[in-house]
Structure 1
């Protein structure tokens, strides 16, 4: 078992205080958006033995277990993060595995550099992900029904939005959502900026259900993504609640501190709320235009005190242990590789003592027990795979 030293990514949307407060360190004054735990080559965690990706590459079977190597190859198939959103993230969607493989191959044949601003596919993998709230957390996820969206947009009283309301009311669900998103993203930029500005003023004045969109418009004035965001369900997660984001589901995080786990991929197609490239035709190929209420996940009790967040993919599995003071040590041994993260209290994992924000990598099959220390309840999240 190895204590991890992890990299903080200073993206502009990050909170300046949330991650430092969790770690118990002084803020730097700069945004701290994500703390990465894993073997992603962009910012691998470091062990005393070296970077985690190099440690795994040196002996994949020893570190990951033979079953995981057979199923996923000789690499850790997930990336684990602490995510701190101080301002809204871009509105985005991820491809499924077949779309990613096709898109990556097409761009490779076209010799588009991986770092080109207009490149969509950085790898051939999909990117399902799960966000679990550590504090109250706000986001957008999946499409509202056209009827609900029409009612929301009409309530702003903005004349230039009336054609969108009519469009939503005139077509079946999938066609209505597709046509409206297409219309928003292909509209004349100056005309759309004026519409967004008027809509933002109305949203701030009305408040209530419009407040999240007023906040988004404050950070992205005139961006067509503000109107696109109104097509999506607004979701509030309480600490311990989670949300799974599958392929083709448009989403954005607005604010809050959470832990995120995802398949190892950088494939993102953006719908707005960003100065980065928006490839409308490819986006429309990937988005799933299904209206549905987003499912809020709560952990389900399992054996040995483990609480599991049930998801439909195998590249990652997230669970939680709440370790009571003075209780017997919990058996944390697994036949899969795992990263364990303390988020509250202090815990002892094997011979290591961890506080909030500290983590360890545990090779497959390594015997391990964990317990709370200092008389406090300790919370530990486990990231692993399904084999």
Structure 2
């Protein structure tokens, strides 16, 4: 079992205080958006087995079966298939979707064939993998997820009283569900930017004045003036997760995180197609191939089992669960069939002989038994083999 030293990513949307507060350290004044736990080549965790700190990715590459187990290597290859994070949103993230596995492979191979540089700003696919993800709230956590029913979206837009939104209202009411959503999103993202900037400003002013169901959208214009994603965001469901609640985001589901601190886990991929709320490249034709134009309420996951509380998802690259350890309770012996990362978010529990403070984590190789004891909250990230 290895205590992890984890990199913190300073993305501009990050909170300046949430991660320092969890870790019990002084803020630096700079945004601290994500703390990464895992072996992602972009920013791997580091471990020290007696010869100084080395990247976890190098440790795994030196002995994949010894670290991950034969079953995980056979199923996912010789790399840890998930990335585990603490995510602290102090401002909205971009409105985005992720491709399914087939589309990711096809898109990656196409861009490789065409010689698009991997770091090019207009490149869509950084790797041939999909990126399902799960966010679990540590504080109240606001986000947008999935499409509203078109008639509900029409009522919301109409209620703003902005004349330039009327064509979108009519489209939402005049077509079948999938066609309505597709046509409106296409129209919003391809509209004349100067005209859209005026529409966005008028809609944001109305949303700020009206409040209520409009409140989550009112502040977007302050971060993204003139961005058509502000209108696109109003097509989506607003979600507020309570601490301990989670939300799974599958392929093609448009979403954005707005504010809050959470634990996130995802398949090890960098594939993101953006819909707005960003200065980065938006490839509308490719986006329309990936988005699933189906309305529906987001499914909120609320594990209730005693002991290991599992957040069930339909994929195998990751499995997230939580242990809420009461003082004096019996220790929990964890399965050793797959690699796992254990993260403390409250109290001072023990993983084996190691005591964990909030924000501290350990890597447990496959085949090594880990026992949780003491009092606190521990999240367990592993794979399904």
**1:40 — aligned with what?**
40
Match of 1:26 in 2: 26
CA deviation string 1:231-279 (max 9, x = no partner): 0000000000000000000000000000000000000000000000000
Distance 1:333 1:199 in 2: 52
Match for residue 185 of structure 1?
189
Q: Is the 8 A contact 1:330 1:371 kept in 2?
A: yes
- Secondary structure at 1:252's aligned position in 2? strand
Q: Distance in 1 between matches of 2:244 and 2:74?
A: 33
Q: Provide the C-alpha distance between the structure 1 equivalents of 2:368 and 2:178, rounded to a whole number of angstroms.
A: 49
Distance in 2 between residues matched to 1:119 and 1:368, nearest whole Å:
42
| Cα distance in 1 between the residues matched to 2:380 and 2:180 | 41
Q: Any gaps of 5 or more consecutive residues in structure 2? A: none
Is residue 122–residue 267 contact of structure 1 (8 Å, CA) maintained in 2? yes
Return the match for 2:219 from 215, 221, 225.
Answer: 215
Give yes or no for the alignment of 1:85 onto 2:83: no
1:28-68, Cα deviation, whole Å (9 max, x unpaired): 00000000000000000000042110000111111001100
Q: Matches of 1:385 and 1:368 in 2, distance apart? A: 15
| The 10-residue stretch of structure 1 (32-41 or 360-369) with the greater mean CA deviation from structure 2 | 360-369
The TM-score, its normalising length taken from structure 1, stands at 0.98
2:313 corresponds in structure 1 to 311
Aligned-residue Cα RMSD (Å) equals 0.7
Is there any run of 5+ residues in structure 1 with no aligned partner, and where? none
1:297-356 per-residue CA deviation (whole Å, 9 max, x = no partner) reads 011416xx1110000000000000011111221112321100000000011111111000
- Residue 379 of structure 1: CA displacement? 0.2
Match of 1:362 in 2: 364
Partner residue of 1:9?
9
Write the distance in 1 (CA, Å) between the matches of 2:355 and 2:335: 17
Residues 176-216 of structure 1 deviation map (CA, whole Å, 9 limit, x = unaligned): 00000000000000000000000000000000100110011
Are residue 75 (structure 1) and residue 64 (structure 2) matched? no
Aligned to 1:229: 233
Contact 1:333–1:369, Cα closer than 8 Å, also in 2: no
C-alpha displacement at 1:370, in angstroms?
1.1
1:133-212 matches, within 5 Å, as 133-212=137-216
Cα deviation per residue 1:90-117 (whole Å; 9 max; x = unaligned)? 0000000000000000000000000000
What is the aligned partner in structure 2 of residue 327 from structure 1? 329
* Residue 273 (structure 2) pairs with residue 269 (structure 1): yes
* Structure 2 partner of 1:378: 376
Q: Distance in 2 between matches of 1:201 and 1:340?
A: 45
Distance in 2 between the 1:244 and 1:37 partners? 19
Distance (whole Å) between structure 2 residues aligned to residue 328 and residue 171 of structure 1 = 58
**Any idea what SS the aligned residue of 2:216 has?**
helix
Query: Which of 13-22 and 213-222 deviates more?
Result: 213-222
Structure 1 outlier segments of 4+, above 6 Å: none
For residues 231 and 218 of structure 2, what CA distance do their matches in structure 1 show? 11
Specify the alignment match of 2:129 in structure 1: 125
